[in-house]
Amino acid sequence: MYGVYGNDFSLSTAFALVAIFNLVRQGFVGLPITFVLAEMYLSTFKRIQEFVIQPDITPVPKLASNEIGVEIKDADFQWSTAENITLKNLNLKAKKGDFVMVVGPVGSGKSSLVSSILGELPIQSGSLGVNGNLAYVAQEAFIFNATVRENIIFGKPYDAAKYRKVIEASALMADLGQFAAGDRTEIGERGVNLSGGQKQVIFYKSKPTSKKFY
């Protein structure tokens, strides 16, 4: 057999060309997937890089007076993801050795107050000062991504009478009234954000002991 330009074209040459074309074709089939994976890896790398280079929490300024432990003057605090001021016009002074209790309804800002003293809640105006070292024991409430009801019954059969007793005993009726879907409101990573106190109440009522309903 003769090629287009008069060169010999044998069966062995044809089979070799077919084999080469098959190898090249496999490479071109995987090329789009390679581009997609490369884009995913690059995006992941940028996110990790942004997280790693983020600055640490700004240290809380030290007070000049050694008699005062914590002092907050006319301060406004706001989470970076919040639209409105979280804590507004806050004033607090606690001397060293004082035993201070912060009392208020669920969602009133008690956990946010602690976060502000730790320097985790950004200050927008006013001043904050702390003397000495800080130790913080956090509420470790486990909330999984599901509705409020599913978090409370925690996989157990739903009993309307018991469930209502749980809600009334834990004073959750007012909180459920604030949710658009009541106890069917989704909470967790992809749901409504709860305060530290709300998480603790829901988490506490879902654990099985002799003193609780669920």
136 located within any domain: no
Q: What pLDDT tens digit does each residue of the chain (214 aa) get?
A: 445 555 666 777 778 888 888 888 877 777 788 888 888 999 999 989 888 887 667 778 888 778 888 999 999 998 877 788 889 999 999 888 888 888 888 778 888 898 889 888 888 999 999 988 887 776 666 777 888 888 788 888 888 888 888 888 877 887 788 887 888 888 877 666 777 777 777 765 554 433 333 3
What CATH number did the domain enclosing 74 receive? 3.40.50.300
Same domain as 153, residue 112: no
User: Cα dist. 200→62, 174, 194, 206 in Å?
Assistant: 32, 16, 10, 10
170 located within any domain: yes
95 located within any domain: yes
How many structural domains does the chain have? 3
Q: Is 121 exposed, middle or buried, given 0-12, 13-18 or 19+ CB atoms closer than 10 A?
A: buried
The first and second tokens of residue 5, run together, are 């330009």
Same domain as 123, residue 72: yes
139 located within any domain: no
Same domain as 186, residue 163: yes
End residue of a domain, out of 130, 164, 183: 130
105 located within any domain: yes
Same domain as 49, residue 2: yes
pLDDT at 73: 93
213 located within any domain: no
194 located within any domain: yes
Q: What value does the CA radius of gyration of the chain take, rounded to a whole number of Å?
A: 31
214 located within any domain: no
Question: Full-prediction pTM beyond 0.75?
Answer: no
End residue of a domain, out of 31, 54, 77: 54
pLDDT at 62: 84
> Whole domain around residue 158: which residue ranges?
146-205
pLDDT at 211: 36
pLDDT at 208: 42
Whose tokens are 């969602």? That residue is 107
Q: What gap in Å lies between CA 86 and CA 196, rounded to an integer?
A: 14
Q: What gap in Å lies between CA 51 and CA 48, rounded to an integer?
A: 5
End residue of a domain, out of 106, 130, 154: 130
